[in-house]
Copies of this chain bind each other. A is one copy, B any other.
Amino acid sequence: MSKQLRVGMVGSGYMGKAHAIAYRNAMAAFEISNQSLICDMLADATPELAKQKAAELGFHRSTGDWKELVADPQIDVVDICAPNFLHKDIALAAIASGKHVYSEKPLALSAADAKLMTEAAEAAGVKTLVGFNYIKNPTVQFIKQLIERGELGDIVHFRGVFNEDYLADAAVPFSWRLQKEFAGTGSLNDLGSHLVQLALHLVGPISALCADLKIVHQQRPLEASATNSMAKGQVENDDQAHMMVRFSNGAQGTLETSRVAWGRKNGLSFELTGTKGSVVFDQESLSEFSLYLSGEQPDVQGFKRVLVGPEHPDYAAFCVSAGHGLGFNDMKAVEIRDLYEGIVHGQALWPDFRAAAQVNVILDDVLKSYEGNAWVKVEQYDGDQ
Main DSSP-derived SS at the A contact region: mixed
Q: How far is the CB of A322 from chain B (nearest CB, A)?
A: 4
Instruction: Across the interface, name the chain B residue whose C-beta is closest to A252.
Output: B214
Interface positions of A (Cβ within 8 A of B): 14, 17-18, 20-21, 23-25, 27-29, 31, 33-34, 55-58, 142, 146, 156-157, 159, 161, 164, 166, 168-170, 210-212, 214, 216, 239-240, 242, 244, 246, 252, 254, 256, 258, 260-267, 271, 273-278, 283-288, 290-294, 298-307, 309, 311-312, 318-330, 373-375
Contact B306 A258 (CB under 8 A): no
* Other contacts beyond A284-B323, A284-B325: 20, CB < 8 A: A17-B28, A21-B25, A21-B28, A24-B25, A156-B239, A210-B212, A211-B244, A261-B278, A262-B294, A263-B303, A264-B278, A265-B307, A265-B309, A298-B309, A298-B311, A299-B306, A302-B306, A325-B326, A326-B327, A327-B327
Q: Which of A161, A170, A302 has the most CB of B within 10 A?
A: A302
Q: How far is the CB of A23 from chain B (nearest CB, A)?
A: 7
Contact B328 A325 (CB under 8 A): yes
Number of chain copies forming the complex: 4
Residues of chain B lying within 8 A (CB to CB) of residue A276: 262
A286 to B319 alpha-carbon distance, docked (Å): 15
A312 to B244 alpha-carbon distance, docked (Å): 36
Contact A168 B299 (CB under 8 A): no
- Cβ 8 A contact of A28, one of B23, B168, B169: B23
Contact B303 A305 (CB under 8 A): yes
Residues of chain B lying within 8 A (CB to CB) of residue A168: 275, 294
Contact B244 A210 (CB under 8 A): yes
A275 to B175 alpha-carbon distance, docked (Å): 20
Residues of chain B lying within 8 A (CB to CB) of residue A21: 25, 28-29, 318
Known contacts A27-B24, A311-B299, A157 near B266 by CB under 8 Å: no
